[in-house]
């Protein structure tokens, strides 16, 4: 870790010392991710279970639930506890309009999500989060991990003068970089999480094309620097190793993720349900 990073990490690795009554929460890293046990997602959650899961979600940003044998209706019911379900875009020709099949076969040379991004940030209202349920890991039993990065901490790692500069800027997010989308939207470079009020860096190489307040060269240089924060600092991230019947919920408002395609020519299969979000609000002041 770089010397200048220690102070920011020290601030953000201090989390609420919560006591949970209905579930167990085990951190994956000090800054992001937790494994949740003691709940069965095939059953209706009690009000106390749901409240504790929501607290853990805001604290850890990525929640991993293992050994869950659930139906599509169970999957959607759990997601619906966090908000309105987000229709798949474009809608599937067959199947449930709220369930996106995540599948990789031996013929696929590349996969969606193989690169750092947040989902659908070219939309005016990007999703609150997603729940990915993997039912079949690669036949070898390994590979296909997903990395998740804490964008609150990415912002905190910038110097104070840089933070102030970034807070004055917006960025254009262009869905043309993703084949299935065509929307173009402008969002603040720094936004506030709508529930916690914490500031975070809201640009990603999957969708962000340029910063309109800067020249083309300045925009490219600044974005390249911001994009490099995540891959150059592994301590920002956690790594989720998938097993069959694992469900992962992540906060798309403050997390980027990277699906690693290191299992060609093997297969992987799962289902994703997304939750509607809102308009990102500027993190000034």
**Burial of 180: CB neighbours in 10 Å, binned 0-12, 13-18, 19+:** exposed
Q: Which of 61, 75, 96, 119 is catalytic?
A: 119
The rounded distance, in Å, linking the Cα atoms of 202 and 190 is 6
119 tagged catalytic: yes
C-alpha dist (Å) from residue 18 to 26, 46, 59, 65, 66: 12, 19, 10, 19, 21
Q: Which of 75, 77, 86, 117 is catalytic?
A: 117
Enclosing H/E stretch for 134: strand 129-136
257 tagged catalytic: yes
The rounded distance, in Å, linking the Cα atoms of 201 and 181 is 23
Contact 254, 57 (CB under 8 A): no
Residues linked to residue 62 through DSSP beta bridges, in sequence order = 250
Written as six digits, the tokens of 177 are 């970089």
C-alpha dist (Å) from residue 163 to 84, 187, 261: 33, 16, 33
The residues, ordered by sequence, that sit 6+ positions from 215 with a Cβ below 8 Å of its Cβ are none
Q: Please name which of 222, 260, 277, 284 lies closest in space to residue 112, comparing C-alpha atoms.
A: 260
Q: Which of 60, 187, 253, 257 is catalytic?
A: 257
Backbone angles phi, psi at 177, to 5 degrees: -70, -15
272 tagged catalytic: yes
> Residue 18 carries which DSSP code?
-
193 tagged catalytic: no
Q: From start to end of 141-283, where are the E strands?
A: 146-150, 170-174, 184-188, 190-192, 199-201, 208-210, 237-240, 246-251, 255-259, 268-275, 281-282
Residues noted as catalytic: 117, 119, 257, 272
């Amino acid at each position: 870790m770089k010397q200048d990073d220690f102070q920011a990490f020290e601030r953000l690795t201090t989390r609420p010392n919560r006591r949970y009554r209905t579930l167990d929460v085990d951190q994956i890293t000090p800054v992001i991710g937790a494994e949740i046990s003691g709940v069965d997602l095939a059953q209706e959650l009690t009000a106390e279970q749901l409240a504790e899961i929501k607290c853990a979600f805001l604290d850890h940003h990525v929640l991993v639930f293992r050994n869950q044998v659930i139906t599509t209706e169970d999957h959607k019911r759990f997601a619906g506890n966090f908000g309105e379900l987000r229709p798949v875009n474009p809608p599937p020709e067959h199947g449930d309009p709220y369930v996106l099949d995540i599948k990789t076969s031996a013929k696929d040379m590349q996969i969606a999500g193989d690169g750092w991004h947040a989902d659908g940030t070219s939309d005016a209202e990007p999703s609150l989060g997603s729940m990915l349920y993997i039912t079949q890991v690669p036949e070898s039993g390994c590979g296909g991990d997903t990395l998740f990065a804490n964008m609150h901490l990415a912002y905190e790692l910038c110097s104070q003068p840089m933070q102030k500069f970034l807070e004055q800027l917006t960025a254009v997010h262009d869905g043309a970089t993703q084949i299935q989308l065509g929307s173009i939207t402008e969002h603040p470079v720094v936004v506030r999480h709508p529930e916690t009020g914490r500031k975070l860096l809201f640009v990603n190489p999957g969708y962000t094309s340029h910063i309109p307040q800067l020249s083309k060269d300045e925009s490219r240089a600044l974005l390249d620097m911001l994009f490099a924060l995540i891959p150059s600092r592994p301590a920002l991230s956690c790594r989720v190793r998938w097993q069959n019947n694992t469900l992962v919920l992540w906060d798309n408002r403050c997390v980027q993720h990277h699906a690693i395609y290191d299992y060609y020519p093997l297969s992987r299969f799962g289902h994703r349900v997304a939750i509607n979000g809102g308009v990102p609000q500027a993190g000034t002041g």
